Amino acid sequence: MTAPALIWFRQDLRLADHPALEAARRKPILPVFLLDDAAAGAWRAGGAARWWLHHSLVALDASLRARGVALHLARGRAEEVIPALAARIGAKEVHAGRLHEPWARKRDAEVAERLRAEGGELLLHSSALLHDPRTLRSGLGRPYAAFTPFARAIFGKGEPPPPLPVPDKLSGPELPGLALDALELLPSDGPTWWQGMEEAWRPGEAGAQSRLARFMADGLCGYSEGRDRPAIEGTARLSPYLRWGEVSPRQAWHAARAAGAEGDHAFLKELLWRDFSYHLLWHRPEMPEAPLDRRFAAFPAVRDRRLLRLWQRGRTGFPLVDAGMRQLWHIGWMHNRVRMIAASVLVKHLLQPWQDGAAWFWDTLVDADLASNSASWQWVAGSGADASPFFRVFNPVLQGERFDPEGEYIRRWVPELAEVPRRFVHRPWEMPGGPPAPYPAPLVAPEEGRRRALDAFARMRATEAA
């Protein structure tokens, strides 16, 4: 009789293109999802991501049941729970997709050690990225520190392998687990802030495939320009599906190649930026908390909880920023161009620590991803990879006039400005009598914010020189 295997689902909540599942599909399997908040610590999934995870697990269990097995849910320390489950079913192999977060790497080493002590083995498979960050090196044999040579190297390797098929039928031992509600992933404060997410998203593998097909048919052509226009559906909106592994980057890559539309190269580079972020995280595990450019430890940010709160609630007085922050609160997602501008205003105009902004995104984004979130915030702050010139300061007014020229995005998410004439929609403080109540005046004038940021950079450099 063939010994069963345990399949540990983590950030690969799908059945298609699942290397861990493929490696054991001819064996009886026990599919397991384990919630291990203790190991994740400060990086346990935030509120919006936990809402998504709840619904994604519902979808994954349904897909598995349709093929003959059920998803086993558990909660606790992985180094205790996973070996115990493997022993209960007589499994010597535990298969899982490789994780890259520092806390997960430490935990996997502990799980592997415990399994080895009991005669078992943890087998990790590459399922979340296009290329393994452990093996990719520059011509000098070093990890990449800039995106352009990184992307050039991956394009030079040719196409990634084609996606793996969905298994037709699965079988395995029955082992009762926790009910999904016992994981306590949904908010306990009632159906309030997350109702907008329910209207905007369809978590799960089927939702991912539907979204991917729709984007390839309607959005890939013109993506190069459309992705910067927040008023239109010009982006793929695949980020939460990639974050939870409901679609793999290989599936997205090959779908874009098959579509053959103008814009595919720009889309593939976005997939590579995600890979690059994980490359940075693997080699610089301090990235979520400390600046990659160590000079920025001396950046004179002054933590102000009032300013942070106004930014969080979309009350900065900069219409494009406020529209983005309110979109984020309503649907757990914000347009990427607006993310950059909102982040720049917090860090440079308001001189707040980038870590505080990253923490808010971590809790409110359905696509909250430690590598991408950290790398992107550091890029905007000037302390990260490819942050050149590091003293770049986005003007939120000019950015709005360029990328939302009619103010459609602003009027949708900031109803106080719905009737403001076009010439004032990006600068309502210039209206006779000021902005319509209750919309606030800017927390700082755009020109003053830029001057403050440049002065802060000058003080940082002076500290370094001293």
Kindly list the domain boundaries of the chain, sorted by start residue: 5-128, 129-159+202-283, 294-465
| Among the listed residues 450, 455, 438, 451, the one whose alpha carbon sits nearest the alpha carbon of residue 310 | 438
Phi, then psi, of 201 in degrees rounded to 5: -130, 160
Tens of pLDDT, residue by residue over 111-133, are 999 999 999 999 999 999 999 99
- pLDDT tens-digit profile of 369-423? 999 999 999 999 999 987 667 778 999 999 999 999 999 999 999 999 999 999 9
Q: Nearest-CA neighbor of 179 among 75, 73, 51?
A: 73
Residue 123: the pLDDT is 98
Are the C-beta atoms of 97 and 14 separated by less than 8 Å? no
Q: What is the pLDDT of residue 191?
A: 57
Q: Identify the pLDDT of residue 405.
A: 97
Burial 301-324 (b: 16+ CB within 10 A, else e): beeeeebbebbbebbbbbbbbbbb
pLDDT (average), residues 51-63: 98
Confidence bin at 463 (pLDDT 50/70/90)? confident
pLDDT in the model for residue 64: 98
DSSP codes, 296-361: GGG------HHHHHHHHTT-SS-HHHHHHHHHHHHHS---HHHHHHHHHIIIIIS---HHHHHHHH
Model confidence band, residue 261 (pLDDT cutoffs 50, 70, 90): confident
Which among 21-25, 110-114, 292-296 has the top mean pLDDT? Answer: 110-114
315, 180 contact by CB (below 8 A) = no
pLDDT computed for residue 270 by the predictor: 96
CATH topology for 129-159+202-283 is 1.25.40
pLDDT of residue 189: 67
For residue 366, the model assigns a pLDDT of 98
Domain 294-465 architecture: Orthogonal Bundle (1.10)
User: Comparing 5-128 with 294-465, is the CATH topology the same?
Assistant: no
**Cα–Cα distances in Å, from 260 out to 164, 220, 398?**
21, 9, 34
Residues 6+ apart with CB under 8 A from 42: none
Q: How far apart are CA 421 and CA 178, in angstroms?
A: 56
Strands of the sheet with 121-125, listed across from one edge = 72-75, 29-35, 5-9, 93-97, 121-125
End-to-end CA distance of the chain: 72
Return the CATH superfamily for domain 5-128: HUPs (3.40.50.620)
d(CA 404, CA 414): 13
Q: To which residue do tokens 């010139």 refer?
A: 389
CA-to-CA distance for 67 and 61, rounded, in angstroms?
10
pLDDT band at residue 204 under the 50/70/90 scheme:
very high
Report strand pairing: 93-97 vs 5-9.
Answer: parallel
The model's pTM: 0.96
* Average pLDDT across the chain, whole number: 95
Note the pLDDT tens digit of each residue in 153-197.
999 999 999 999 999 999 999 899 999 999 999 987 655 677 899
Q: What pLDDT was estimated at residue 466?
A: 63
Q: Nearest-5° angle of CA 405, CA 407, CA 412? A: 150
The set of residues, in sequence order, having a beta carbon less than 8 Å from that of 310 and lying 6+ positions away, is 316, 440, 443
